[in-house]
Amino acid sequence: MISKAFIQEQGNGRLRYEEQLVSEELKERGIPISFYTEKRVQRRQLPLDNQSLVVGDMSCVLGALKQLGISEPSLNDYPACLNNFMHRKTWISTVSELERRFFNGRYAPIFAKPATRRKRFTGCVFETEYDLYKIYGVSRQEKLLCSEVVSWISEYRVYVVNSEIRSIDFYNGNPDVLIDVEKVWQAIKSLDDVGGSYAGYAIDFGVLDSGETALVEMNDGFAVGAYSIDRKNYTDLILARWEELLSSCEK
C-alpha cells in the first residue's frame, strides 16, 4: 500500500503535465507528496521504501527502481502473443546490420527502435544511409526492434488498469477514423492468457490505410505519457503498476 509519493519537478516548482495530474489526484486522496529534482534521485537522496510511489520521467523512475533493488522491467513493445495484431513484419536486428543494409543499397524504409534498453534513441524511420545520423554514438552491437513502414490513418492510446480499459485517447491522424475496440479487448485477453499483461499499461492501436486496426506498440505503465485521460484513471494506472513493481521489493 502506498503511503507517500515523490513527484518530479522541473525546477522552481514547475511540473510536467503527467506529474501535475498525479499531484492533484494524490492530494485529494490524502497521500503525502514530496517534490524532487532529477539530480536528487540520481544522487540517491530520496528516502525510498516499499511504500513509496515515485512519479517522473523515464530516467528518474528507473533510478528509483535501481535504488529500491527492483530490476528494470524488460522492454516488451511488440509482445509475441500479439503478433496477429501487428499487420506488418517485425524482426530483431542491430545497428551494424542496419548500416550494412543501407550501404549495400537496400533502401526499403525501416522503422527501428531500441530492442532492449530504453531511451537509447527515439524510434524513427530510416530511408537511406543519410538517416543513420539519428543513431550516432549508439553502439553498433545495440539490438534494434525493426518493422516494415506502414501508413497509419489514425492512432489511439488505450489505458488499461487490471485488464480494464479506462480511457481511449486519440493522439495522431484523423480523429474521425476509429479503431475497432473489440480487437483491443481481444489483445488484452491474449496478454492475460499468457501472463504478459501488467497491472497498469497503455497499448497503442491505430487504423492502417488498409482499414485494419493494428497494434502500434505496448507501453509499460510505470512512466507512460498522458493524453486526454483524466487524473483519476491516470493515477490509478500509475499506482497499480508501481505497487506491482514494489511487490518484488525486498522488505
**Other Cβ atoms within 10 Å of 164 Cβ, number:** 10
* Segment 201-240, tens digit of pLDDT: 999 999 999 999 999 999 999 999 999 999 999 999 999 9
Model pTM?
0.91
Element housing 239 (H / E): helix 231-246
Give the mean pLDDT of 96-106: 83
Selected residue with higher pLDDT from 225 and 106: 225
**Cα–Cα distance, 1 to 67 (Å, whole number):** 19
For residue 84, what are the contacts with CB-CB under 8 A and spacing of at least 6? Answer: none
**CA–CA–CA angle 35, 33, 46 (5° rounding):** 55
